[in-house]
Amino acid sequence: MKALVIRKRDFGESDLIVEFLCETGALHSGFAASAKRSRRRFPHQFFLPAIYNVEWTRSAQGGQLKRIASCELDQAFPKIADHIEDYARWASLLEWMARSHDELGQSLNYFEALCGVLHSSESNQFHTAYHRFLIEEMRRHGVNPDLKDCGSCHKAIHAESNFSVLEAKVFHTDCRPGWRLTLKARDFFCHVLSDESRIEDPPFLSTEDLQCLDATTLAFLTTQLGLELKSQNFLRQIAESSLPTARDQSASF
């Protein structure tokens, strides 16, 4: 089965527990016995950004943790691993995907989308694909910033602007401070959020544009969704506390 390595952790002196995102969309943890000692069986050490072919066998105890029978490289993407900043970006996407599974309880299949980001590195489009993934996640979770008019004077913005992560609005540079957004970075942001994003090509992004997006997209997505999760949890707690218990119901008849 094809899979991506999401994270790994040490288990004892030489073993590893590795978590995979499988092509089915499921997350599976596997036990790699003596992985740190066996460069023959696991030469990649589950490090490279890559697509793997994984086979499992059940543990002898019959538990939920599967023993990894083999894990072979299907396709590696060394350009990402060669640059620490790009490797950090890739790791942030994996962490985000795992968080969406764990915290939101959603069974969304991220496998194809993440493989698409990996393949984009071969055509030197990794940064653009990375930001597209994050912005599309905003759409998926209903986290939509207001990027058209100034949040202070309410006039249209036709130049560089400042973006407020907490307020989810853009401002003229002389109206309000915030994260700097170039015009093309804002246009790209708006394009991916729009319904036409799959029909037309996005604006070309320079290194400066990408740096502006680096400072905004992941911070905005995690901050806004975090606020939303907190408010939902708070409302659910209020609702649960206001529900009559079985004891109250029997007493009311």
All structural domains of the chain with their residue ranges: 2-76, 125-238
**pLDDT tier for residue 34 given thresholds of 50, 70 and 90:** confident
**Which of 121, 122, 116 is CA-nearest to residue 136?**
116
**Which of 149, 121, 138, 128 is CA-nearest to residue 202?**
128
CA distance 158 to 197: 21
Between 175 and 26, the higher pLDDT residue: 175
CA distance 167 to 74: 43
CA distance 103 to 61: 29
**Which of 153, 96, 155, 175 is CA-nearest to residue 163?**
175
Helix (H, G, I), strand (E, B) or coil at 207: helix
**pLDDT tier for residue 231 given thresholds of 50, 70 and 90:** low
CA distance 103 to 73: 30
Helix (H, G, I), strand (E, B) or coil at 205: coil
The third-level CATH classification (topology) of the domain covering 2-76 is OB fold (Dihydrolipoamide Acetyltransferase, E2P) (2.40.50)
At 245 the pLDDT is 43
Question: What share of the chain has pLDDT > 90, as a percent?
Answer: 38
Whether 32 shows a pLDDT value over 90: the answer reads no
**Which of 212, 142, 206 is CA-nearest to residue 182?**
212
What amino acid is encoded at 129 in this protein? A
Dihedral sign for Cα atoms in the order 43, 47, 52, 56: positive
pLDDT tens digits for 74-101?
999 999 988 898 999 999 999 888 877 7
CA distance 69 to 56: 5
Question: What share of the chain has pLDDT > 70, as a percent?
Answer: 80
